[in-house]
Structure 1
Amino acid sequence: MQQADFADLDAFTAVARARGFRAAAALRNVSASSLSEAVRRLEARLGVRLLNRTTRSVTPTEAGQKLLERLSPALADVALALDEVNAFRDSPTGTLRLNVPLVVSKVVMPRLIPKFLAQNPGVTVEIIAEDSFIDVLAAGYDAGVRYDERLEKDMIAVPLAGPQRFMLVGSPAYFAAHGRPTHPREVLDHASIRHRFPSGATYAWEFEKDGQTLRLDPPARLTSTNLDLEIAACEAGVGLLATFEDFVTQAIAAGRLEAVLQDWLPPFSGPYLYYPSRRHMPAPLRAFVDFVKAERLADQT
Structure 2
Amino acid sequence: MKLDLATITAFVTVARAGGFREGARLSNGSASRLSDQVRRLESQLGVRLFNRSTRSVALTEAGEGLLQRLSPALDEMELALDVVNSYRDRPVGTLKLNVPVSAARLVLPDIIPAFLAAYPGIRVEIITEESFVDVLAEGCDAGIRYDESLEQDMIAIPIGPRSQRFAAAASPGYLKQHGIPEHPRDLLDHACLRGRFASGALHPWEFERGDETIELNPTGPLLVRPGGGTDLATVAACQGTGILYLFEDWLQPYFDSGALVPVLSDWWPRFPGPKLYYPGRRLVPTPLRTFIDFVKSHPWPSHPAKEKPHSA
TM-score by length of 1: 0.89
Counterpart of 1:248 in structure 2 is 251
Equivalent pairs counted in the alignment come to: 299
How far does the alpha carbon of each residue in 1:4-33 deviate from its partner, in whole angstroms, 9 at most, with x for none?
Answer: 932332232234345555665665466666
Residues 228/300 of structure 1: CA separation in 2 closer, same or farther (3 Å cut): closer
Identity, % of aligned positions: 55
Gaps of 5+ in 2: 304-312
| 1:239 aligns to 2:242 (yes or no) | yes
CA distance in structure 1 between the partners assigned to 2:274 and 2:33 by the alignment:
36
Report the AA paired with residue 240 of structure 2.
Answer: G
Residues 57/198 of structure 1: CA separation in 2 closer, same or farther (3 Å cut): farther
What secondary structure sits across from 1:241 in the alignment? Answer: strand
1:108-257 alignment runs, 5 A limit: 108-162=107-161, 163-225=163-225, 226-257=229-260
Report the AA paired with residue 280 of structure 1.
Answer: L
What secondary structure sits across from 1:164 in the alignment? Answer: strand
CA contact (8 A) 2:143 2:276 kept: yes
CA distance in structure 2 between the partners assigned to 1:189 and 1:26 by the alignment:
51
From 282, 285, 288, the equivalent of 1:282 is 285
TM-score by length of 2: 0.86
Larger helix proportion, structure 1 or 2? 1
Residues 34/159 of structure 1: CA separation in 2 closer, same or farther (3 Å cut): farther
What secondary structure sits across from 2:113 in the alignment? Answer: helix
| 1:80 aligns to 2:79 (yes or no) | yes
Q: CA RMSD in A?
A: 2.6
How far does the alpha carbon of each residue in 1:185-217 deviate from its partner, in whole angstroms, 9 at most, with x for none?
Answer: 110110011123333433221112223332211
Deviation at 1:251, TM superposition (A): 1.4
Deviation at 1:260, TM superposition (A): 1.1
Deviation at 1:80, TM superposition (A): 1.5
The runs of at least 4 consecutive aligned structure 1 residues that moved more than 6 Å come to 54-57
CA distance in structure 2 between the partners assigned to 1:79 and 1:187 by the alignment:
53
Report the AA paired with residue 293 of structure 1.
Answer: K
* Bigger mean CA offset, 203-212 vs 257-266: 203-212
CA distance in structure 1 between the partners assigned to 2:29 and 2:247 by the alignment:
34
CA distance in structure 1 between the partners assigned to 2:174 and 2:151 by the alignment:
41
* Bigger mean CA offset, 148-157 vs 6-15: 6-15
How far does the alpha carbon of each residue in 1:69-119 deviate from its partner, in whole angstroms, 9 at most, with x for none?
Answer: 221222122101210001211121111111000111111111111111111
CA contact (8 A) 1:208 1:265 kept: yes
Gaps of 5+ in 1: none
